[in-house]
Amino acid sequence: MIEIRMHGRGGQGGVIAAKILASAIFKEGRFAQSFPSFGVERRGAPVLAFTRVDDKPIRLRTAIYEPDHLIILDATLIKFTNVFSGLKRGGTILVNTFSPLSTFNFPEDYTAAAVDAAGIAVRHGLGTKSMPIVNSSILGAFARFSGVVGIDAIVEAIREGVPLKQDENAAAALEAFEAVETVVAEIVAHDNHSSHGNGNITVK
């Protein structure tokens, strides 16, 4: 089973992202499950969303405490919440940010990627500059970075799953997918000055 946990804020589209991801996985012939976890239900409040993937029916109904993949829709959450809690050794982290990954204090034994999902969303008229809706662009990047799901299934699920601007959302996903194609891979030494050979992938 593959477990994916998304960290975002109300209004960014994280709950819909989890649903679209599950739909895309189902289109590829596997089983999927998605559900959210809300705290205070208001715009800008932290929101968790979960997606599970398996080749057989999924009976588990708990929150995801030890994810294989983290998707962080708002990089400010890294500073104020323990988004890395339970991340499996060797897991992946995808962050919506235009900043270099070296500015973040990531845990050891990970592979990370950054994509300016917010900038892509704004260019395609998804949300506003102050509150872009980043779900489609982050899913496009996730398809390329993780290999968990294909971009064709993501685009098809987006066109079926978003209520408005289907073409713009699909285009945002495709742009983010291509952005991950042009990467700079770097090995970052950790605080103990040792390297574990994991590539930090910064999208320019």
142: number of Cβ within 10 Å: 30
By three-state DSSP, how is residue 196 classified? coil
Residue 41 pLDDT exceeds 60:
no
Per-residue CA distances from 127 to 9, 16, 49, 135 (Å) = 13, 14, 20, 11
- Residue 141: give its domain's CATH number: 3.40.920.10
Mean pLDDT along residues 111-133 = 92
> What's the domain range around 94?
2-203
Q: In what helix (H) or strand (E) does residue 121 lie, and over which residues does it extend? A: helix 117-123
pLDDT band at 37 (very low <50, low <70, confident <90, very high): confident
Q: Which of 8, 17, 25, 6 shows the shortest CA–CA distance to 150?
A: 25
What is the model's pLDDT at position 19? Answer: 95
pLDDT band at 169 (very low <50, low <70, confident <90, very high): very high
Residue 78 pLDDT exceeds 70:
yes
> In the chain, how many domains are there?
1
- Provide the mean pLDDT of the chain: 84
